[in-house]
Amino acid sequence: MFADILAAFRAPKPDRLTNEDARLALTALMVRVARADQDYAVAERRMILQLLMERYGLSEQAATALRTEAEDLEAQAPDTVRFTRVVKETVPYEHRETVIEALWSVVLADHHRDHDEDGFMRLVVSLLGINDRDSGLARQRVQAKFLK
Protein backbone atom coordinates (compact mmCIF):
# COMPACT_ATOMS: atom_id res chain seq x y z
CA MET A 1 0.00 0.00 0.00
CA PHE A 2 2.66 2.50 1.08
CA ALA A 3 4.87 1.53 -1.86
CA ASP A 4 1.91 1.82 -4.26
CA ILE A 5 1.30 5.42 -3.27
CA LEU A 6 4.97 6.36 -3.51
CA ALA A 7 5.05 4.73 -6.97
CA ALA A 8 1.98 6.75 -7.97
CA PHE A 9 3.85 9.93 -7.03
CA ARG A 10 6.50 9.06 -9.62
CA ALA A 11 4.15 7.82 -12.35
CA PRO A 12 3.50 10.13 -15.29
CA LYS A 13 -0.24 9.27 -15.11
CA PRO A 14 -1.18 7.59 -11.81
CA ASP A 15 -3.78 4.84 -11.68
CA ARG A 16 -6.90 5.39 -9.63
CA LEU A 17 -6.07 4.78 -5.98
CA THR A 18 -7.75 2.02 -4.01
CA ASN A 19 -9.98 3.25 -1.20
CA GLU A 20 -7.30 2.38 1.37
CA ASP A 21 -4.58 4.16 -0.61
CA ALA A 22 -6.81 7.21 -1.13
CA ARG A 23 -7.49 7.33 2.61
CA LEU A 24 -3.78 7.19 3.34
CA ALA A 25 -2.89 9.81 0.72
CA LEU A 26 -5.59 12.21 1.93
CA THR A 27 -4.53 11.75 5.54
CA ALA A 28 -0.91 12.42 4.55
CA LEU A 29 -2.07 15.61 2.82
CA MET A 30 -3.79 16.68 6.06
CA VAL A 31 -0.53 16.04 7.90
CA ARG A 32 1.39 18.06 5.32
CA VAL A 33 -0.97 21.02 5.77
CA ALA A 34 -0.70 20.76 9.55
CA ARG A 35 3.10 20.80 9.31
CA ALA A 36 3.17 23.76 6.90
CA ASP A 37 3.87 26.24 9.70
CA GLN A 38 6.55 24.01 11.28
CA ASP A 39 4.24 23.48 14.28
CA TYR A 40 2.36 20.18 14.19
CA ALA A 41 0.12 21.17 17.09
CA VAL A 42 -1.77 18.77 19.34
CA ALA A 43 -5.05 20.39 18.25
CA GLU A 44 -4.20 19.66 14.61
CA ARG A 45 -3.34 16.03 15.36
CA ARG A 46 -6.60 15.68 17.29
CA MET A 47 -8.55 17.24 14.43
CA ILE A 48 -7.03 14.76 11.98
CA LEU A 49 -8.13 11.90 14.27
CA GLN A 50 -11.62 13.35 14.58
CA LEU A 51 -11.95 13.76 10.81
CA LEU A 52 -10.77 10.19 10.21
CA MET A 53 -13.20 8.78 12.76
CA GLU A 54 -16.13 10.79 11.34
CA ARG A 55 -15.28 10.45 7.66
CA TYR A 56 -14.39 6.76 7.62
CA GLY A 57 -16.16 5.45 10.72
CA LEU A 58 -12.86 4.41 12.30
CA SER A 59 -12.23 3.71 15.95
CA GLU A 60 -9.78 6.02 17.70
CA GLN A 61 -7.17 3.24 17.61
CA ALA A 62 -7.61 2.66 13.86
CA ALA A 63 -7.58 6.41 13.17
CA THR A 64 -4.39 6.80 15.20
CA ALA A 65 -2.73 3.98 13.25
CA LEU A 66 -3.77 5.58 9.94
CA ARG A 67 -2.49 8.99 11.03
CA THR A 68 0.83 7.47 12.12
CA GLU A 69 1.22 5.74 8.76
CA ALA A 70 0.27 8.98 6.99
CA GLU A 71 2.89 10.90 8.98
CA ASP A 72 5.52 8.45 7.68
CA LEU A 73 4.21 8.75 4.12
CA GLU A 74 4.17 12.55 4.28
CA ALA A 75 7.78 12.58 5.45
CA GLN A 76 8.81 10.41 2.48
CA ALA A 77 6.52 11.97 -0.12
CA PRO A 78 8.00 14.14 -2.85
CA ASP A 79 7.22 17.76 -3.38
CA THR A 80 3.67 19.00 -2.91
CA VAL A 81 3.09 19.39 -6.66
CA ARG A 82 3.44 15.65 -7.29
CA PHE A 83 1.68 14.83 -4.05
CA THR A 84 -1.45 16.80 -4.94
CA ARG A 85 -1.33 15.68 -8.59
CA VAL A 86 -2.01 12.12 -7.48
CA VAL A 87 -5.00 13.26 -5.46
CA LYS A 88 -6.28 15.51 -8.26
CA GLU A 89 -6.00 12.82 -10.92
CA THR A 90 -7.54 10.08 -8.82
CA VAL A 91 -10.25 11.84 -6.79
CA PRO A 92 -13.34 13.36 -8.47
CA TYR A 93 -13.86 17.13 -8.08
CA GLU A 94 -16.85 16.84 -5.74
CA HIS A 95 -14.77 14.70 -3.38
CA ARG A 96 -11.84 17.11 -3.61
CA GLU A 97 -14.14 19.84 -2.31
CA THR A 98 -14.67 17.80 0.86
CA VAL A 99 -10.89 17.30 1.04
CA ILE A 100 -10.46 21.09 1.06
CA GLU A 101 -13.01 21.36 3.87
CA ALA A 102 -11.06 18.76 5.86
CA LEU A 103 -7.81 20.61 5.21
CA TRP A 104 -9.34 23.88 6.41
CA SER A 105 -10.52 22.03 9.54
CA VAL A 106 -6.93 21.04 10.24
CA VAL A 107 -5.60 24.55 9.57
CA LEU A 108 -8.19 26.15 11.85
CA ALA A 109 -8.04 23.47 14.58
CA ASP A 110 -5.62 25.49 16.69
CA HIS A 111 -7.76 28.65 16.17
CA HIS A 112 -4.77 30.38 14.61
CA ARG A 113 -4.35 31.12 10.90
CA ASP A 114 -0.67 31.27 10.15
CA HIS A 115 0.69 32.94 6.99
CA ASP A 116 2.57 29.75 6.08
CA GLU A 117 -0.60 27.66 6.39
CA ASP A 118 -2.63 30.19 4.40
CA GLY A 119 -0.02 30.25 1.65
CA PHE A 120 0.20 26.49 1.62
CA MET A 121 -3.60 26.19 1.42
CA ARG A 122 -3.68 28.57 -1.56
CA LEU A 123 -1.10 26.35 -3.26
CA VAL A 124 -2.91 23.10 -2.45
CA VAL A 125 -6.30 24.49 -3.51
CA SER A 126 -4.84 25.55 -6.84
CA LEU A 127 -2.98 22.29 -7.38
CA LEU A 128 -6.11 20.27 -6.61
CA GLY A 129 -7.99 22.25 -9.25
CA ILE A 130 -10.43 23.76 -6.76
CA ASN A 131 -11.52 27.30 -7.49
CA ASP A 132 -11.06 30.07 -4.93
CA ARG A 133 -14.80 30.48 -4.42
CA ASP A 134 -15.30 26.82 -3.46
CA SER A 135 -12.28 26.97 -1.15
CA GLY A 136 -13.62 30.12 0.50
CA LEU A 137 -17.02 28.52 0.99
CA ALA A 138 -15.37 25.43 2.49
CA ARG A 139 -13.40 27.63 4.90
CA GLN A 140 -16.56 29.49 5.90
CA ARG A 141 -18.40 26.21 6.58
CA VAL A 142 -15.54 25.08 8.81
CA GLN A 143 -15.38 28.42 10.63
CA ALA A 144 -19.14 28.25 11.25
CA LYS A 145 -18.71 24.80 12.85
CA PHE A 146 -16.00 26.13 15.15
CA LEU A 147 -18.26 28.98 16.28
CA LYS A 148 -21.02 26.59 17.45
Sequence ranges of the domains in the chain = 2-9+16-147
CATH 1.10.3680.10 fits 2-9+16-147, yes or no: yes
pLDDT confidence bin for 32, thresholds 50/70/90 = very high
Residues 6+ away with beta carbon under 8 Å from 114:
36, 37, 39
Express each pLDDT in 87-122 by its tens digit.
Answer: 787 778 888 888 899 999 999 998 888 888 889 999
Q: What is the pTM of this model?
A: 0.84
pLDDT score of 58 = 96
What stretches of 11-148 show up as alpha helix (H) in DSSP? 19-34, 42-56, 60-76, 80-90, 93-108, 115-127, 132-147
Q: How many CB atoms lie within 10 A of CB 62?
A: 14
